Chain A
Amino acid sequence: EEQLLESGGALVQPGGSLRLSCAASGFTFSNYAMTWVRQAPGKGLEWVSGISGDGDNLYYADSVKGRFTISRDNSKNTMFLQMNSLRAEDTAVYYCARWKGGSTAAAGLPADWFDPWGQGTLVTVPS
Chain B
Amino acid sequence: ETVMTQSPATLSVSPGERATLSCRASQSVSSNLAWYQQKPGQVPRLLIYGASTRATDIPARFSGSGSGTEFTLTISSLKPEDFAAYYCQQSYSIPITFGQGTRLEIK
The judgment on whether A and B are partners is: yes
A residues contacting B by CB (< 8 A) are 35, 37, 44-47, 50, 59-62, 95, 101, 104-106, 108-109, 111-120
Contacts of B46 in A (CB 8 A): 113-116
User: B95 on the interface (CB 8 Å rule)?
Assistant: yes
Kindly identify, within residues 54 to 87 of chain B, every residue whose CB is under 8 Å from any CB belonging to chain A: 55, 87
Contacts of B45 in A (CB 8 A): 117
Contacts of B101 in A (CB 8 A): 44-45
Complex alpha-carbon distance, A119 and B99, angstroms? 21
Beyond A95-B43, A117-B44, whether A47 also contacts B97 by CB under 8 A is yes
Kindly identify, within residues 1 to 28 of chain B, every residue whose CB is under 8 Å from any CB belonging to chain A: 1
Contacts of B34 in A (CB 8 A): 112-114
Q: Tell which of A50, A95, A115 touches B55, judged by Cβ atoms closer than 8 Å.
A: A115
Is there an interface contact between A106 and B32, defined as CB atoms closer than 8 Å? yes
Complex alpha-carbon distance, A1 and B98, angstroms? 27
Beyond A101-B49, A106-B93, A113-B91, whether A45 also contacts B43 by CB under 8 A is no
Task: Output the least CB separation between B15 and chain A (Å).
Answer: 25
Complex alpha-carbon distance, A101 and B33, angstroms? 12
Complex alpha-carbon distance, A62 and B43, angstroms? 24
Contacts of A62 in B (CB 8 A): 1, 95
B28-52: CB near A (< 8 Å → 1, else 0) gives 0011101010100001111001100
Is there an interface contact between B98 and A112, defined as CB atoms closer than 8 Å? no
Q: Tell which of A46, A118, A120 touches B98, judged by Cβ atoms closer than 8 Å.
A: A46
Complex alpha-carbon distance, A111 and B91, angstroms? 8
What are 11 sample pairs from A and B whose C-beta atoms fall under 8 A apart? A35-B96, A45-B38, A45-B87, A46-B98, A105-B32, A106-B32, A109-B93, A109-B94, A111-B91, A117-B43, A119-B43
Is there an interface contact between A113 and B89, defined as CB atoms closer than 8 Å? yes
Complex alpha-carbon distance, A98 and B6, angstroms? 24
Complex alpha-carbon distance, A114 and B30, angstroms? 17
Contacts of A50 in B (CB 8 A): 96
Is there an interface contact between A47 and B30, defined as CB atoms closer than 8 Å? no
